[in-house]
Amino acid sequence: MTFLILLAFIGMLAGVFLLVKMSPYEFAESITKSFAGRPKPIAKQIEEINHPQKPKGIKKIIQDAKEVLKMTGKSGKFAALCALSFFLLVVGILICIFISNYFMLPVLAVGMALLPFWYILFTSHSYKKMMNNEIETALSIITTSYLRNESIITAVEENIDYLNPPVADVFRSFLMETNLISSDVKKAHAEMKPRLNNDIFHEWVDAAIACQDDKTIKSTLTPIISKLSDMRIVAAELDYLMYEPLKEFITIALLLVGNIPLIYFLNKDWYSVLVNTDFGKGILAVCVLVLFISLAAVIRLTKPVEYRR
């Protein structure tokens, strides 16, 4: 009976979308888009500046995912990500209703809603590694040229064709600023800093600004770049150890989920107690909760090595 009610509900929704000639994706995106760009009141902005609070829990996961999208130049897809999260939340609710396990409903709904954000955070780790390698390459060749000709503009012009995005875009904007807008090299350097979220890059920019006043300290640029090399070596040595929790999580998760059908073949009475009684449904809800908490912890532990000043 529950299955028929769900089927009728899905059919009704499909009919409504067909009548208004709109896809579910467009509907969810139009709803989330209105909240994505809503400006905060001035009083709330002042309160956040005077008393900053670090986000925790779900709010931190969503904010970190939003920052990753901004860092990768995909801020416009945040609304689509929220739409996918809402869709998975509904799917989780429907699954719990279908299996008549209402203990699991909040756990599965929230967990599935967070899956897109966890995926963004997990895939950002490889992006950060690539970004660190690109920054190391760019700063190394530009610094080598700068030590030779003592002109940062000439050094960037000589090597801009060898750089890859998004680092190349930052230095191209630097050249446009110095060649077409203003000859103030220090100002152009300062405008480069917020375009890449990397502490070593920021330190290199500060040193390059100082070199404009005193050319004799240009030798300080090379030790700064060596920090990126040291960080890459440490990351390579710890790469296996960082992904060890992920391997263990996958193994334990498969064993936990695989035990449910295994119980069915071993003892059908035990399986009936597990899926049909309140006690068994509560155990399943706790197991799913542990899986989601473990997944969040694993994603946090597999973050790449980063330098902090």
Query: For the segment 135-166, what is each residue's pLDDT rounded down to a tens digit?
Result: 888 888 888 888 887 777 888 888 888 887 77
Length of the chain measured in residues: 309
- Virtual torsion, Cα 289, 292, 298, 301, nearest 10 deg: -80
Phi-psi region of 100 (alpha: psi -120 to 50; beta: other; left: phi over 0): left
CA distance 182 to 178: 5
CB distance 81 to 65 below 8 Å: yes
pLDDT, tens digit, for every residue of 185-228? 777 777 777 777 777 888 888 888 887 777 777 777 778 778 77
With CA atoms as reference, report the closest residue to 115 among 65, 162, 155.
Answer: 65
Preceding peptide of 166 cis, ω within 30°: yes
pTM to 2 decimals?
A: 0.65
State the pLDDT at residue 87: 83
pLDDT per residue as tens digits for the range 85-132: 888 888 888 888 888 888 888 888 888 888 888 888 888 777 777 777
The tally of domains found in the chain comes to: 1
Asked, for residue 170, whether it belongs to a domain, the answer is yes
Does residue 252 fall inside a structural domain? no
Within a domain: 143: yes
On whether residue 299 sits in a domain, the answer given is no
* Helical (H) or strand (E) element with 304: none
Task: Tell me if 223 is assigned to some domain.
Answer: yes
Q: 90 in a domain, yes or no?
A: no
Residue 197 counted as domain residue: yes
Distance (Å, whole) CA 240 – CA 265: 37
Residue 217 lies in a domain: yes
* 273: nearest Cα among 290, 260, 286: 260
Range of 188's domain?
Answer: 129-232
Closest C-alpha among 67, 79, 92 to residue 28: 79
DSSP 267: -
